[in-house]
Structure 1
Amino acid sequence: MGDIADFEDWDLIIEDIHNQKCIVIVGPDILEYEGFDSFFGAVSNELKENKYISQSFVEEQLFQIKISNPIRAKAEKNDGIRHIGKAMQRVIEQNQAKLDAIALLLKKLPSELILSLMPEEATFSRILENPVRYYHKNKTSEKEVLPQFSSESPTMYNLLGVLSQPESLVFTYDDLFEYIFSILGDNRLPQALQIALKNAERFIFLGVNFNKWYMHLLLKLLASDKNVLAIDAQIPEASRTFIMSRLSLEMMDCTPIAFLEKLASTYEKSSKKQEEITPQKPVEVKPVIAKNDPVRVFLSYAHVDEEFKKELLINLSPLIKQVKEIEIWEDRQITAGTEWETAIKSQLAQSELLICLVSKNYLNSSYCESEISTAITQQKYVLPILLKSCAWMDFPFIATRQVVPRDNKSIASFKDQDEAYQSVYEEVKRLVTLIKSERAI
């Protein structure tokens, strides 16, 4: 357990934030609620005379909805959920000024992604200037597409739902178990979010009560084997000892708001100092893509699969040379003397579609994995083409995409290779049409 005055890692945290390697998780107890120990204590007080609530479990941050008529069980549960949501909204409105201050402090930090365990969304959407995204325990996230993460307009992702969608929230024990089965089962978090969590090296929990078994599970899911700092001065000493002996985290003995103020102040001083010694770089202007311009394709492959690549380009030549529907870039086009990593990052950023040639060689390449994970994080279309049989289904970045040729057949498995490449051609053509249709006019 540390004290804010003795904390020595401010510079490391600032560096991790700059490099998008640090994720801040905001809990409901990031605020101090006058007269109550916690957010749920204040909400429970709002519901103490409510006919729909039979019991409040403040320590567990859950409620039990009273069902008086089994025939109307669903209707009574829905009404109870709505009453809980309204009580939460009242507590938030009573503390609106404090919440605004928190959101403004978060905006000062150059974070691309902020996670939330607090059901509020309106304040964060207004001040962060970006709609709050959220996980819904009863809906699959396979089709959920997050916006491209940007430090200028941070994405806040609420892991436990939002008030505007009461059915998404985790209010009761039933909700909690549905949530756990969902997040560990088929309805996993969006792919871009999983990648951000994987790439992060540091997590800072502000106002999150770890004195609950399911919060231990969530910590393991989000930040296993990472540098974890928990800020909460309200957890009793005995509980802290128990938590820290079971979980790999460091606790700081200060209020979340005090830590956030110090972090924002340290970052501001660091930025000013950096501006004094660093010449101003010209603003990079991204080229405007007209609706009928060729789709920019980034080709990701292992060099040992060069022959497959050449055959693919021959089969895609009508789209490249005749109708000029696509422009393909590959790393063989890097000119001598060019810094290759910079060139790859630049071309990947400008691309609209990443085509990856999947084989055991590709799966064994860490740089190929980096290219595909970057493309997914940037919300680009990704088309895996299966060259030969390999363990591609064990790679989530690929397994969650539609692989071609379809039916999990590899190109090498076709007796007629022309038939295989023709099926790939049709899939690329269809995807190019889709990408063009989604462009701004």
Structure 2
Amino acid sequence: MATPPSSTPANSPLEVFFSYAHEDEGLRDKLANHLKLLERQGVIKKWHDRQILPGSEWKGQIDGHLESAHIILLLISSDFLASDYCYDVEMTRALQRHDAKEAIVIPIILRPIDNWNKSPFGKLQALPTDGKAITTWSNQDEAFTNVAQGIRRVAEAFNSGSSAADTTPQPTVTPPPSPPSPSPLMSQTNTGNSTGWQINVSGGTVNIGHPPQL
């Protein structure tokens, strides 16, 4: 059973799992380079399937790291969505762990895709900012830096005991003012030894049930 992120020992690097299509290996390597400083600082340790040693059972390795990762990056492209293994196995399990608060899943939009925000991961805040695909940036280093900064913020919030949801600004909702309590239509009055009723009407009140006082 995977160790939930909340029980990660203090100062231990967070495991970051790359879920990607092999057609996007070059973009994955560029992202990994931009995350290298976080690795050197002991904030994260990254893992992807190219680290599987020859002779190892690859599915078991992938499944094991998918279960132990604290942060799971979905490197989104048309090839990712076309891959049955990426979509049906890795993404599905990643979202299950995210919903169970066992891991944080971050979609990274590598290349433009139509209507990706309607996909199962569309409910999650994506990187780069506003989900603008990395390959559409005029300077891709700026795009990868934007992604690295976002992952750093998540890792820092993680280590401080907050969740990704905790760091997302929530709109302030001001409840509407309570309407004034209406005056009762009728109220009982006492005058001397007699009891009457007072009826509230527009512009004043009318006393009934006892004679006017002289």
Relative to structure 1, the CA distance from residue 399 to residue 286 in structure 2 (aligned partners, 3 Å threshold; closer, same or farther) is closer
Q: Which residue of 1 aligns with 2:200?
A: none
Shift of 1:311: 0.6
Shift of 1:289: 2.7
Question: What is the distance in 2 between the residues matched to 1:437 and 1:405?
Answer: 23
Q: Which has the higher strand share?
A: 2
Shift of 1:408: 2.6
Q: Which residue of 1 aligns with 2:16?
A: 297
Question: What is the distance in 2 between the residues matched to 1:313 and 1:408?
Answer: 19
Question: What is the distance in 1 between the residues matched to 2:161 and 2:94?
Answer: 17
Q: Is the counterpart of residue 312 in structure 1 residue 35 in structure 2?
A: no
Question: What is the distance in 2 between the residues matched to 1:412 and 1:364?
Answer: 18
Equivalent residues in 2 for 1:58-77, closer than 5 Å: none
Question: What is the distance in 2 between the residues matched to 1:345 and 1:372?
Answer: 12
Q: TM-score, length-normalised on structure 1?
A: 0.34
Cα contact 2:72–2:94 (8 A) shared by 1:
yes
Larger radius of gyration: 2
Structure 1 residues not aligned, in runs of 5+ = 1-283
Q: Which has the higher helix share?
A: 1
Q: Which residue of 1 aligns with 2:82?
A: 364
Cα contact 2:2–2:68 (8 A) shared by 1:
no
Q: What is the root-mean-square deviation in Å for CA atoms of aligned residues?
A: 1.8
Q: What is the DSSP-based 3-state SS (H/G/I as helix, E as strand, rest coil) of the residue aligned with 2:142?
A: helix
Identity across the alignment (%): 33
Deviations 1:110-161 (A, max 9, x none): xxxxxxxxxxxxxxxxxxxxxxxxxxxxxxxxxxxxxxxxxxxxxxxxxxxx
Equivalent residues in 2 for 1:422-437, closer than 5 Å: 422-437=145-160
Q: Which residue of 1 aligns with 2:210?
A: none
Shift of 1:317: 0.9
Question: What is the distance in 2 between the residues matched to 1:306 and 1:320?
Answer: 19
Supply the AA of the counterpart residue of 1:393: N
Q: Which residue of 2 aligns with 1:395?
A: 119
Q: Which residue of 1 aligns with 2:142?
A: 419
Count of aligned positions: 154
Relative to structure 1, the CA distance from residue 286 to residue 415 in structure 2 (aligned partners, 3 Å threshold; closer, same or farther) is closer
Equivalent residues in 2 for 1:164-243, closer than 5 Å: none
Shift of 1:382: 0.5
Cα contact 2:76–2:108 (8 A) shared by 1:
yes
Q: What is the DSSP-based 3-state SS (H/G/I as helix, E as strand, rest coil) of the residue aligned with 2:8?
A: coil
Question: What is the distance in 2 between the residues matched to 1:434 and 1:403?
Answer: 17
Cα contact 1:356–1:385 (8 A) shared by 2:
yes
Q: Is the counterpart of residue 375 in structure 1 residue 94 in structure 2?
A: yes
Equivalent residues in 2 for 1:36-185, closer than 5 Å: none
Question: What is the distance in 2 between the residues matched to 1:425 and 1:352?
Answer: 16
Cα contact 1:354–1:381 (8 A) shared by 2:
yes
